[in-house]
Amino acid sequence: MALRLSPCVDASAESASVLALQNVLPFRRPDADGRRGGRIHLSPPELAGGEMEALEETLRSGWLAPAGPVPKAFESAFGHVSGFEHVLATSSGTAALHLGYRVLDVAPGDEVWAPTLTFVATVAPAVQMGARITFLDVASESWTLDPDMLRDALAQAAREGRLPRVVVPVDLYGQCADLDAIVSVCDRWGVPVMSDSAEALGATSRGRRAGQGARLACFSLNGNKIITAGGGGTLVSDDPELIASARHLGMQAKEAAPHYQHETTGYSYGFSSVLAAVGLMQLRALESRVASRRAVFDRYVAGLADLPGISFMPEPSWGQSSRWLSVMLIDSRRFGADREMVRRALDEAGIESRPVWKPLHLQPAFRSAGRIGGGVAAGLFERGLCLPSGSMSPAEQSRVIEVIRRLARG
């Protein structure tokens, strides 16, 4: 077959390669049909409807590059859903964070402040850029960055002349950080805020949507998030210049010249058209996903909150969580079993659950990082368990609840 450089898809080559793939890939999850008796997962990806058609249309169009009309349409739809005017779609949420750190000019030796209770990706790119990380504790009312602790720590850092280059609050498990309070204390010292909202698309806080009010925010479209494109992320802002320079850096920092002129080096962080087609369809399901995740949370509360020693992630009066994950706290002395015993019992019953994020200040990778407090986060890690939170039949969720009830004292 002649080698073709045009972006057109050769239909026969396409079906031939799919046939070959079918011999090596298990296309179905073992429990994809016949859900009864199947394993219940923490946050499995779900189809929204229309993905197949969108994929087919995109493949046939020949627009497969990480540029062109499909990612553009995705960015515009994402702007609508997130409430941000400027959106850059990226190959992952971590890539979006990396570009965010770059456009905020984080340099070796700079301080970056983040809550300790988060996924490693919040700070990993900054570490790789040579920044020094300081972890702060979370507030027990929201499990997100404590604004009072931040205010005092910033005042102290200002006195010592070592203000952070950026503060990165995290919207945890679908719950927004108290961004108004955080931005107002950071504004006082001229420190920009980048919100890691990877887990909180669809959440609101004080009448605004996740990340709104921050200089930059990032989201993830990874397979376990509330909506997914099978991978991908976004960096968003109300500042067109920040997004324009992130876009430039994310596409290898090519200057406008036919020979590709480079004034600096960038990254290959573009969002594939193929994934953008899936993401476009998924975005339409966001509202119903939030409603269904909140209903899952409510059913856990109804089925478990009467047990001694059991409580749930609080929702502060100023925010509405997407309840991306339902998180339960176990006081082992009152309940009669600890978090690990519950997790193992669920696992044996074919149910996936996961401890709350291990605070980053307790991770060996961050032995030399700075730390302010951390006791609240450490306690949440010890007692907190994330329960299956995707779409489940009431019967499946009752199975989860039953396993936990059987472990209760008495």
Q: Which residues bind ligand PLP (CB under 6 A)?
A: 92-94, 118-119, 121-122, 170, 196, 198-199, 220, 222, 233
Q: Is 254 labeled as catalytic in the residue annotation?
A: no
- Of 324 and 335, nearer to ligand PLP (C-beta) is 324
CB of 221 to ligand PLP, least distance (A): 6
Q: Identify which of residues 93 and 164 has a Cβ nearer to ligand PLP in the complex.
A: 93
For 288, residues 6+ apart whose C-beta sits below 8 A from its C-beta are none
Question: Residue 232 or 266: which CB sits closer to ligand PLP?
Answer: 232
Q: Closer CB to ligand PLP, residue 299 or residue 354?
A: 354
Instruction: Name the nearest CA neighbour of 410 among 312, 310, 343, 297.
Output: 310
DSSP line for 45-97: ----SSHHHHHHHHHHHT--SSSSHHHHHHHHHHHHHHT-SEEEEES-HHHHH
Do 7 and 65 touch, CB atoms closer than 8 A? yes
**d(Cα 228, Cα 179) in Å, to the nearest integer?**
25
- Kindly state the smallest distance separating residue 324's Cβ from ligand PLP, in Å: 9
3-state SS, residue 326: strand
Smallest gap, in angstroms, from Cβ of residue 118 to ligand PLP? 5
The smaller minimum CB distance to ligand PLP, of residues 222 and 397, is found at: 222
Smallest gap from residue 166 Cβ to ligand PLP (A): 15
277: three-class secondary structure by DSSP: helix
212 or 397: CB nearest ligand PLP: 212
CB 31 to ligand PLP: min, Å: 24
Q: How far is the CB of 340 from ligand PLP (least distance, A)?
A: 22
Closest by CA to 89, choosing from 103, 72, 101, is 72
Contact 359, 300 (CB under 8 A): no
Alpha-carbon span 123 to 170, nearest angstrom: 11
CA distance 299 to 239: 41
Q: Are 265 and 253 in contact (CB under 8 A)?
A: yes
Pairing of strands 370-372, 326-330: unpaired
User: Can you name the residues that pair with 208 across neighbouring β-strands?
Assistant: 205
Query: How far apart are the two ends of the chain, measured CA to CA in Å?
Result: 72
| SS3 of residue 163 by DSSP | coil
The one-character DSSP state at 114 is E
Q: Which residue is nearest to ligand PLP (CB)?
A: 93
Q: Which of the following is catalytic: 72, 225, 254, 358?
A: 225
User: Annotated catalytic sites, by residue?
Assistant: 225
